[in-house]
């Protein structure tokens, strides 16, 4: 039996997240305070008792989810023994700390830079995302490709029958109409302020590339299955390149879980806020165990 640890991305945040961990674990509290210093503001105050609007800001959301995931993993001690790891979008940074590719401080700085770069890209171009339910991936891809005068691409392959598309607002509006006509059960525009994992994020990719290339990536203790190609690797240079490409490429989560199962994973542990990934794993591979860590 192989253990796979998986780490959530943006959207799993909630007010009060990680407060119990901070209050009851002195090691966790020390790490959170270290993070407050690195970030230059008390993110813990927003996480524990801020407003929804404050927490929804990308520059806050991404570091908050990363901190919850990574610090909780650090408190698991000897029980935390992954045979493989993966993270959904932002969660890939958490996974890279968990398998010791990245140091905590370095990863937090990268996550903060990523969040700010993505926020700038969102503000520079009106864009959004939509969830498409009940349609084959190939059909969704075909519809997106048919819209040649706008940016619309497949962004998150979450599970069979659930694919998130990303692009300009006009492109997403056109795509939703066409996808419903093609038989989608639903095509729902999501309450997000940008087109993540699409060409709209190219300015952020360029900005983050320099920071990632300047960061020390070490040989990990176990393979990470990365979003870009859903394949395992322990090569630090390849991990860097895949992480850079991730900003404008789709998250191949369905394929990631399928490959982890093919490579022997039978026990999936979600580390961080929420239970979204557990639900997706159960829809992708019905005969494996998926729980919170």
Q: Are 112 and 18 contained in the same domain?
A: yes
pLDDT category of residue 1 using cuts at 50, 70 and 90: confident
What per-residue confidence (pLDDT) applies to 219?
Answer: 98
What per-residue confidence (pLDDT) applies to 191?
Answer: 82
| Tens-place pLDDT, residues 42-76 | 999 999 999 999 998 888 999 999 999 999 999 99
What per-residue confidence (pLDDT) applies to 133?
Answer: 98
Q: Are 154 and 32 contained in the same domain?
A: no
Q: Are 105 and 209 contained in the same domain?
A: yes
Structural domain including 138 reads 126-189
Q: Are 231 and 95 contained in the same domain?
A: yes
pTM, two decimals, is 0.96
Q: Is residue 194 part of a domain?
A: no
Residue from 89, 112, 166, 198 carrying the catalytic annotation: 89
Q: Is residue 273 part of a domain?
A: yes
Residue from 12, 166, 197, 198 carrying the catalytic annotation: 197
What per-residue confidence (pLDDT) applies to 192?
Answer: 83
Mean pLDDT on 27-45? 98
Residue that terminates a domain, selected from 162, 189, 216? 189
Q: How many domains does the chain have?
A: 2
3 state SS of 162: strand
Mean pLDDT computed over every residue of the chain: 96
Task: Respond yes or no: is residue 292 known to be catalytic.
Answer: no
What per-residue confidence (pLDDT) applies to 89?
Answer: 97
Cβ contacts of residue 252 below 8 Å, gap of 6+? 157, 227, 228, 229, 230
Task: Respond yes or no: is residue 197 known to be catalytic.
Answer: yes
Q: Is residue 131 part of a domain?
A: yes
> Angle, to 10 degrees, between the axis of helix 58-75 and the axis of helix 91-98?
30
CATH at residue 258: 3.40.366.10
Mean pLDDT on 115-144? 95
What gap in Å lies between CA 65 and CA 113, rounded to an integer? Answer: 15
Q: Are 180 and 98 contained in the same domain?
A: no
pLDDT category of residue 193 using cuts at 50, 70 and 90: confident
Q: Are 9 and 104 contained in the same domain?
A: yes
- CA-CA-CA-CA torsion sign (143, 148, 150, 153): positive
What per-residue confidence (pLDDT) applies to 181?
Answer: 97
């Amino acid at each position: 039996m192989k253990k796979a640890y998986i780490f959530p991305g943006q959207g799993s945040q909630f007010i009060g997240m990680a407060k119990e961990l901070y209050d009851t674990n002195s090691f966790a509290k020390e790490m959170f305070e270290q993070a407050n210093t690195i970030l230059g503001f008390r993110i813990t105050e927003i996480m524990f008792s801020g407003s929804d609007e404050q927490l929804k800001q990308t520059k806050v959301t991404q570091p908050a989810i990363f901190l919850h995931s990574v610090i909780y993993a650090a408190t698991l001690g000897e029980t935390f023994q992954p045979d493989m790891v993966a993270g959904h979008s932002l969660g890939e940074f958490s996974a890279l700390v968990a398998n010791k590719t990245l140091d905590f401080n370095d990863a937090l700085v990268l996550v903060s830079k990523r969040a700010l770069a993505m926020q700038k890209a969102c503000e520079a171009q009106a864009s959004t995302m939509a969830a498409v339910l009940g349609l084959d991936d190939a059909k969704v891809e075909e519809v997106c490709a048919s819209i040649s005068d706008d940016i619309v691409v497949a962004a998150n392959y979450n599970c069979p029958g659930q694919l998130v598309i990303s692009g300009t607002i006009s492109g997403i509006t056109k795509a939703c109409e066409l996808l419903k006509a093609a038989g989608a059960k639903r095509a729902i525009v999501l309450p997000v302020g940008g087109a993540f994992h699409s060409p709209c994020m190219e300015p952020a990719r360029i900005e983050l590339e320099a920071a990632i290339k300047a960061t020390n990536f070490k040989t990990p203790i176990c393979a990470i299955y990365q979003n870009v190609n859903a394949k395992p690797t322990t090569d630090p240079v390849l991990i860097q390149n895949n992480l850079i490409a991730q900003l404008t490429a789709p998250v191949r989560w369905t394929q990631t879980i399928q490959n982890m199962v093919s490579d022997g994973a039978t026990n999936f542990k979600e580390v961080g806020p929420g239970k979204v990934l557990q639900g997706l794993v159960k829809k992708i591979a019905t005969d494996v165990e998926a729980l919170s860590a």
